[in-house]
Each structure stands twice: as structure tokens, then as C-alpha cells.
């Protein structure tokens, strides 16, 4: 897991008042964002006084192995990120960091604002980390308001998931929980924007295993599976097509 929290003291120069919302383009080294995205780690802009938040991030990430939604980019006002929660999810872990944060709000399927238990709902200068136990099934919504660089990961402790994703130059192989009927596969961009649908064939000798040839229609992409009935999982890594020119990405 790559997190700016581990580098907070280096990334908060003493001459930059109001870090990370400094009004300057490079309030932090974008290399850390690139590494976090490529590995599926977390980019979180902790102030050096907020280092205790690292434990909340590490513990929550360790307990929630399935990724439901992932998005990153630059914000000019606000963005809404839908979070489809299926019945197999018994705990939701939301990690959202926004450089010049006004607020980060989480809404349940009835669009009521949700405040987690104080012991697991943490607010920081540039983000929020919260855990929701036994979330109701349906479409939740995460709204980020503010400006600047943002990074969001919504993870779950769930009985059903996406596993063993292997991307090679022009082939893709993965596993979905066998009980998921008629899974649909897509490529999405860094901010979760749709790129293309994929056709993967099931393995008759291995339930839940799918594979097939594919040619990405964008330089950067993530792999997403859904079933049209509320189930969604995404591989947290942001792949780059140029990497395929040298060696497979495991």
C-alpha cells in the first residue's frame, strides 16, 4: 500500500502554509499518486499532525479485501461517485482524500447523509476515512466537494468478489465468485469513466474463471465486473497499455 501519509513530513514543506491546499500546482509529488494507482494502494494527504490516521487506514484496508469503486483525478467543484452495495457486503470501508476539501459526504440508498460511529469515522484536513457496518443493499453515493487532486477507494468485506486478475499483452484472465450469474466485464478509466465492454469466455472446467483476448481502447484502465443486479467489483490497479510492450503485468 502506498500512502502519502507515510511521507507526510517530507511532503509538507514548512514554507507552504495551508498544505496541501497551497494554491500551487505541486503541493505534493505526483509520483506518489502514480505509484499508488498502479499498485492499487492508497493516496491520502495526511497533515503531519494527523499521522495517527495511518493506523485507521492500514487496519481498515486489511479487513476489506474487495474493491467496489475506485476513482482519481482533479476536481473543480464536486463529483458524485456511485457505490453499488450488494447483499453479500457486511462492511463498507470508504477512503477519500481531496486536496482542497470543503466536505465529503456519504449517502445511503435513501439519500440520507450517513455519519459513522465516531470510533470508525475519521475526518482529516484533506479527507475522510469511515467504516459502515452492515450497509443496506442498494446504490450508495459518495460526494466530494472542493478542488484539486482527489483519490477515492471504496472497499468491502464481502462473501462475493473478483480475484486472480491477470493482464498480459492482449489477454485477460480473472475469477469471479461462481454464484454470480451472468457477469459483465468492462474497462473503466482513472475516474471510473466507461471505456469499453469486454467479451470473456467462461471455463467449463473451472466455475467462475473467465478469460479472453482484448485490446484496451485507452492508455489507462481498470477492470470492472458487474451483473446488472447490484453486484460490482473492480481491480484497484490502474493499468497502462505501454507496460505491455515489455512484460506482462501480474
Question: What CATH number is attached to the domain comprising 144?
Answer: 2.60.120.380
6-39 burial code (b ≥16 CB/10 A, e <16): bebeebbeeeeeebbbbeeeebbeeebbeebbbe
- Residue with the three cell numbers 487532486: 149
Give the predicted TM-score (pTM) of the model. Answer: 0.88
* Residue 136 DSSP code: P
CATH number at residue 206: 2.60.40
Q: Which domain holds residue 75?
A: 4-158
24 and 140 assigned to the same domain: yes
Q: Domain check: are 147 and 167 in the same one?
A: no
147 in the same domain as 64:
yes
Q: Are residues 97 and 202 in the same domain?
A: no
Q: Does 52 lie in the same domain as 39?
A: yes
- State whether 108 and 45 are in the same domain: yes
Strands (E), the chain: 66-75, 78-85, 89-107, 121-124, 127-133, 138-158, 162-167, 171-176, 184-188, 194-198, 201-202, 209-213, 220-226, 232-234, 239-240
In a domain, 250, yes or no: no
Q: Residues 120, 18: one domain?
A: yes
Q: Are residues 97 and 66 both part of a single domain?
A: yes
pLDDT of residue 24: 65
Mean pLDDT of residues grouped by 10 in the chain (250 residues)?
Answer: 38 55 74 92 90 91 97 94 97 96 96 85 94 96 95 97 92 95 96 96 95 92 95 96 52
Give yes or no: residues 179 and 140 share one domain. no
Examine the domain organization and report whether 13 and 83 are in the same domain: yes
- Domain total of the chain: 2
Amino acid at each position: 500500500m502506498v500512502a502519502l501519509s507515510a511521507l507526510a513530513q517530507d511532503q509538507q514543506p514548512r514554507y507552504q502554509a495551508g498544505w496541501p491546499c497551497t494554491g500551487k500546482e505541486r503541493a505534493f509529488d505526483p509520483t506518489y499518486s502514480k505509484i499508488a494507482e498502479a499498485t492499487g494502494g492508497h493516496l491520502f494527504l495526511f497533515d503531519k499532525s494527523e499521522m495517527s490516521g495511518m493506523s485507521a487506514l492500514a487496519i481498515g484496508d486489511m479487513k476489506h479485501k474487495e474493491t467496489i469503486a475506485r476513482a482519481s483525478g482533479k476536481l473543480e467543484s464536486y463529483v458524485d461517485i456511485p457505490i453499488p452495495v450488494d447483499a453479500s457486503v457486511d462492511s463498507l470501508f470508504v477512503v477519500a482524500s481531496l486536496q482542497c476539501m470543503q466536505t465529503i459526504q456519504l449517502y445511503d440508498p435513501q439519500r440520507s447523509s450517513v455519519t459513522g460511529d465516531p470510533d470508525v469515522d475519521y475526518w482529516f484536513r484533506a479527507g475522510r476515512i469511515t467504516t459502515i457496518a452492515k450497509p443496506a443493499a442498494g446504490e450508495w453515493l459518495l460526494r466530494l466537494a472542493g478542488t484539486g487532486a482527489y483519490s477515492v477507494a471504496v472497499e468491502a468485506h464481502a462473501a462475493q468478489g473478483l480475484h486472480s486478475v491477470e493482464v498480459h499483452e492482449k489477454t485477460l484472465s480473472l475469477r469471479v465468485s461462481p454464484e454470480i450469474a451472468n457477469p459483465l466485464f468492462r474497462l473503466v478509466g482513472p475516474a471510473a469513466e466507461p471505456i469499453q465492454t469486454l467479451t470473456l469466455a467462461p471455463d467449463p472446467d473451472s466455475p467462475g474463471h473467465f478469460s479472453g483476448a482484448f485490446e484496451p481502447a485507452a492508455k489507462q484502465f481498470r477492470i470492472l465486473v458487474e451483473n446488472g443486479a447490484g453486484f460490482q467489483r473492480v481491480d484497484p490497479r490502474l493499468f497502462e497499455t505501454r507496460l505491455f510492450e515489455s512484460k506482462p503485468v501480474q
